[in-house]
Structure 1
């Protein structure tokens, strides 16, 4: 990277999770498809090494999508970067087939992602973060065909400015906490769960609470119940218990690549129907097996006459304060209900994420980005932000496009096809 600091890159990726990893592979395979197809690319990732939701790699936790929805298969079934290729390279392909399961553990899928990224690691600069993007001044009548990116190191020190013809932003979702609740050593978001849990002495955790109604909340509740046999576990669920995720075949078709077109080119009524009817495929829902396992644990407690697992249904966290060594959580069941206080050693907020928001990163460049009536970015079908004629460069989003591209925008289901479409767009605009 240092030897090529002054090169103008065809593509600069900001963030290097699964989405931009898939993009790096798509660029690699496009370059290998014929002479003259090479594109210079570099990716910046603020983490010191590759990692994807490491703090949720809980024992026995499985993926919610088929292994065939990997980094490449839906775009290129013959790719050497597929999950099947990884199993073959690892010597586990026959054993995996004998397992007769479409859903690998999250830990195994993470190993697959690490295996894939090792093959394109020469394109990635870890411990670095793009802090701003701007358009250079040009006295020519035509707008400049490049962007300037300020890159800082892990300590926040500005390192260098590089040039790019296209940027692909994939900085990930932002952890969301209940209103008035701040994270500290005893109040965690699910995104940091295992990291924080491993710092604790488990024997000191006697009363723990988990807030949330989705998959992460249920998995963490199960984990704490199993790992802390001496502890009481409270599950604050805003609904009346957990709701099952709809993973039936017809509902799953909304994650098909073709569904993106149906959403993007659909009417407002069509888009509303997507969310109204199919929100239960992914948001605030839990796999049926996990629900049954938790219910069985609760029922077994009743049979034994103990009360280790308590579900607080229709309950929201409304505040948290420290009282001595304890964490006092304020809970409310409904808007007019009396607030109840619960003393715990740890509160885990599995309360979801906010969408990726690149406005701060874009800075003054944001004024050239077009927005819709609701103030959201106008995003073209190829995931490129629509810009005014003053900008000729491509600014692509991997995430933050739910309002234009639908439910798969922040999910793994469509990353292979989406990355291919972005590469196709960059190639088409380069040769136009």
Structure 2
């Protein structure tokens, strides 16, 4: 809905209870929790919230919506179910409203396709009707007595006011040191968009760097999409490692596991992260590993060879010119090298967290963020370096204190309820109702 100039000025001048920085799944879950809380309250007790999002519209990794790829978490870990099973913002209600509930039940799966889950998130973003400034990026947050001031840039520069801040800026694609993105070398995060802009194919060869789920999905997609091309998968491990999604291991993603992790001694936290990194990092679903191996083996039997998995290997030299990218690979155990001329190199090399210190400035200690991690209370409140009238909450960047669910979808619903409860309690400590979670 467009607002006139007077409306815009009024919105900019007013102090809201909460400004959410970023409007991806995490703060979308928070917006849903706020809406459901407000619907149960008198107008004087309702929480006012505003969100700023740098993207022009809502989107969740649109460049990786590869057909056929599925979610790695249950649909029950949606934006609301674990906080409020009767919410109208659940994935099941989305299915019902689109006439697909019975069809999904007959599908007999806990894991919808990534495309369908993205459509669910888009639907939820439209249904919640939150106050979101799209195309606006927060660049500075200042403490101003009893509130914060948030400087944003976009079509114009604005200064917004809020009593609390919730940082959910998400993750940024990380390229290996020395790699500059070009039209032929890019991160897998924007795969579909970058492939659409790829210069003419001359060599029918691609290299994919990385050993995680995204890397394996890119390898499969390229092999199927370019039937004349070779696809070379390169990583430091000897082979892909299967992700541990067994029932007991998955308890690390339960809401109660956050309590366990937070209350643990630092050395226990480190142990737990090391024990269970295989549930999330640099690991691939076993059926996909088996599918890729079957493809490679079949090509060994009857040819032609198009899929090549270079384990225990690394890129030692790269040269790009107008017609392609020349890559020299080294097999680490033997030291043997080979040079391959490619049309593109795709780096599925993970992500790095949002640079919060650059936005928070004197509110935080930059050294803490880059050493042991910032001090965060159980309700995700950042312990700031200066006294503030309100609070800064972190949705992400708390793996060191809250465990593996810090930046994952698994705990969004419960985490949103906990942050909202903290905001409500701070706004009305003597009479704030409790927001229940399972």
TM exceeding 0.5: yes
1:22 alignment partner in structure 2:
29
* CA distance in structure 1 between the partners assigned to 2:96 and 2:262 by the alignment: 37
2:380 alignment partner in structure 1:
383
2:268 alignment partner in structure 1:
270
Inter-CA distance 389–184: structure 2 relative to 1 (3 Å threshold): closer
Q: Which runs of 5+ in 2 are unaligned?
A: 1-6, 430-438
2:112 alignment partner in structure 1:
104
Which 10-residue stretch deviates more, 412-421 or 305-314? 305-314
Q: Give yes or no for contact 2:75–2:91 (8 Å, CA) kept in 1.
A: yes
Deviations 1:246-299 (A, max 9, x none): 100000000000001111110123212212211110100000111111111111
Q: Give yes or no for contact 1:132–1:150 (8 Å, CA) kept in 2.
A: yes
Q: Give yes or no for contact 2:183–2:197 (8 Å, CA) kept in 1.
A: no
* CA distance in structure 2 between the partners assigned to 1:318 and 1:47 by the alignment: 35
Which 10-residue stretch deviates more, 331-340 or 18-27? 331-340
Inter-CA distance 121–340: structure 2 relative to 1 (3 Å threshold): farther
- Say whether residues 1:194 and 2:192 are aligned partners: yes
User: What TM-score do the two structures reach when normalised by structure 1?
Assistant: 0.93
Residue 415 (structure 1) shift: 0.6
1:147 alignment partner in structure 2:
148
- Say whether residues 1:74 and 2:75 are aligned partners: no
Q: Give yes or no for contact 1:253–1:259 (8 Å, CA) kept in 2.
A: yes
Q: Give yes or no for contact 2:207–2:344 (8 Å, CA) kept in 1.
A: yes
* CA distance in structure 1 between the partners assigned to 2:328 and 2:27 by the alignment: 40
Inter-CA distance 203–326: structure 2 relative to 1 (3 Å threshold): closer
Residue 203 (structure 1) shift: 5.3
Inter-CA distance 268–60: structure 2 relative to 1 (3 Å threshold): same
Choose the corresponding residue for 2:394, options 386, 394, 397: 397
* CA distance in structure 1 between the partners assigned to 2:308 and 2:333 by the alignment: 22
- Say whether residues 1:130 and 2:138 are aligned partners: yes
Q: How does 1:226-237 map to 2 (within 5 A)?
A: 226-237=224-235
Residue 336 (structure 1) shift: 8.6
Aligned residue for 1:297, secondary structure, equals helix
- Say whether residues 1:60 and 2:61 are aligned partners: no
Residue 366 (structure 1) shift: 2.8
* CA distance in structure 2 between the partners assigned to 1:268 and 1:149 by the alignment: 33
Which 10-residue stretch deviates more, 298-307 or 418-427? 298-307
Inter-CA distance 355–336: structure 2 relative to 1 (3 Å threshold): farther
Deviations 1:119-166 (A, max 9, x none): 233411111111111123xxxxxxx11011111115xxx421111111
2:353 alignment partner in structure 1:
355
Residue 193 (structure 1) shift: 0.6
Residue 392 (structure 1) shift: 2.4
Residue 182 (structure 1) shift: 1.3
Aligned residue for 2:248, secondary structure, equals helix
* CA distance in structure 2 between the partners assigned to 1:271 and 1:254 by the alignment: 12
Q: Give yes or no for contact 2:30–2:416 (8 Å, CA) kept in 1.
A: yes
* CA distance in structure 1 between the partners assigned to 2:199 and 2:225 by the alignment: 12
* CA distance in structure 2 between the partners assigned to 1:370 and 1:232 by the alignment: 45
* CA distance in structure 2 between the partners assigned to 1:357 and 1:252 by the alignment: 29
Inter-CA distance 335–393: structure 2 relative to 1 (3 Å threshold): farther
- Runs (4 or more) in structure 1 with deviation over 4 Å come to 201-205, 369-373
Choose the corresponding residue for 1:337, options 325, 335, 338: 335
Inter-CA distance 373–120: structure 2 relative to 1 (3 Å threshold): closer
Q: Which runs of 5+ in 1 are unaligned?
A: 137-143
* CA distance in structure 2 between the partners assigned to 1:338 and 1:295 by the alignment: 23
* CA distance in structure 2 between the partners assigned to 1:81 and 1:149 by the alignment: 29
2:40 alignment partner in structure 1:
33
* CA distance in structure 2 between the partners assigned to 1:203 and 1:420 by the alignment: 50
- Say whether residues 1:302 and 2:303 are aligned partners: no
User: What TM-score do the two structures reach when normalised by structure 2?
Assistant: 0.92
